Amino acid sequence: MTTRARDKRDARDLPNYPLTEAARWLGLVQNTLRAWFVGQNDPHRAGQQCFRSVLEPASSKPLSLSFWNLVECSVLSSIRNEHGVSMQKVRKALSHVAKEMGKPRPLIEQVFMTDGVHLFVDRFGQLVSASEHGQSTLRRLIEASLQRIERDADGLAARLFPWSHRPTEPRVVSVDPRVSFGRPVLAATSIPVESILSRFRAGERIEELATDYQVSEASIQDLVRWALEPAAA
């Protein structure tokens, strides 16, 4: 893609997040995230993929993700957390949703919260013969992750509240392309998360950080707990 063509893209679709950084903020293992965007080769068959990509990255060389990619991964992570989910079948279900909705990237669209979730759960249930209980659990996980996305007047994702373990956890961090150049910030502020964490790792006390940034000690504690607990498998 030429520089001119790239400049015409929405700022939320520009490749601003290296894979390592995206994995850290989404609480995902880097190799898992890479497989979602480039697929995974079969170790027993040279040149053959055992797993094809599910999402399209903002940039392939080097592999970098956009804000909208982060949103897609956040929703996809909630789907993946359901026991027994096959990513090959997830890809097929998402392709079905995109075709039925006429939206090439349904996970970033407002309408996915209504018709899209129903279409996905219905098709995925057919592909895996999921029980009614399993489909209900999957629906709840997806809907919870969608509640962590704020949208603009056109229904497109505009702000994300990443989650670390469950989409129902408190909103500790936010990512907004319009704030701090799209870097993760402490929710409801413009304070870069990395600024706080680097000082905490250097040995500064939570009380000192709360005073300096003029936020509550509880918010700093929540951030430290959110960022430093182990990533999802």
In 52-102, beta strands by DSSP E = 59-60, 63-65
Quote the CA–CA distance of 123 and 25 in Å, as a whole number: 30
Does residue 233 lie within any of the structural domains? no
Kindly tell me the sign of the dihedral angle through the C-alpha atoms of 183, 79, 105, 4.
positive
Supply the pTM of this predicted model. Answer: 0.89
* High-pLDDT (> 90) share of the chain, %: 70
pLDDT tens track for 64-87: 999 999 999 999 998 887 656 678
Q: Specify if 160 maps to a domain.
A: yes
Tokens read off for 145: 């992750």
| Range scoring the smallest mean pLDDT among 11-20, 108-117, 222-231 | 222-231
- Distance between CA 92 and CA 70 in Å, rounded? 20
Give me the mean pLDDT over the 108-121 stretch.
93
Residue 171, domain member (yes or no): yes
Per mean pLDDT, which range of 83-87, 143-147, 159-163 is the poorest? 83-87
Looking at residue 134, its pLDDT comes to: 75
Residue 87 lies in a domain: yes
Take residue 49 and report the two structure tokens written for it. 């993929």
Domain holding 151, by residue range, is 3-228
> By CB neighbour count within 10 A (0-12 exposed, 13-18 middle, 19+ buried), where does 135 fall?
middle
pLDDT at 120: 94
Residue type, 112: F
Domain count, the chain: 1
Q: What is the mean pLDDT of the chain?
A: 89
Residue 218 lies in a domain: yes
Which tokens go with 226? 């959110």
For residue 62, whether the previous peptide bond is cis, meaning omega lies within 30 degrees of 0, is yes
Which amino acid is residue 123, in one-letter code? Answer: R
Within a domain: 67: yes
Q: With 70 as the cut, is the pLDDT of residue 47 above it?
A: no
Average pLDDT, integer, range 55-70: 96
Distance separating alpha carbons of residues 42 and 28, to the nearest angstrom:
21
The arithmetic mean of pLDDT across residues 109-116, rounded, is: 93
Task: Decide if pLDDT at 179 tops 50.
Answer: yes
How far apart (Å, rounded) are the C-alpha atoms in residues 149 and 70?
11
pLDDT at 43 over 60: no
| 3-state SS assignment for residue 202 | coil
Q: How confident is the model at residue 203 (pLDDT cuts 50, 70, 90)?
A: very high
* Residue 126 resides in a domain: yes
With respect to residue 48, please indicate whether it lies within any of the assigned structural domains.
yes
Q: Distance between CA atoms of 193 and 211, rounded to whole angstroms?
A: 16
Band (1; pLDDT cuts 50, 70, 90): very low
pLDDT higher than threshold 60 for residue 42: no
Higher-confidence position of 224 and 50: 224
Q: What's residue 4's pLDDT?
A: 46
Between CA 100 and CA 232 the distance in angstroms is 32
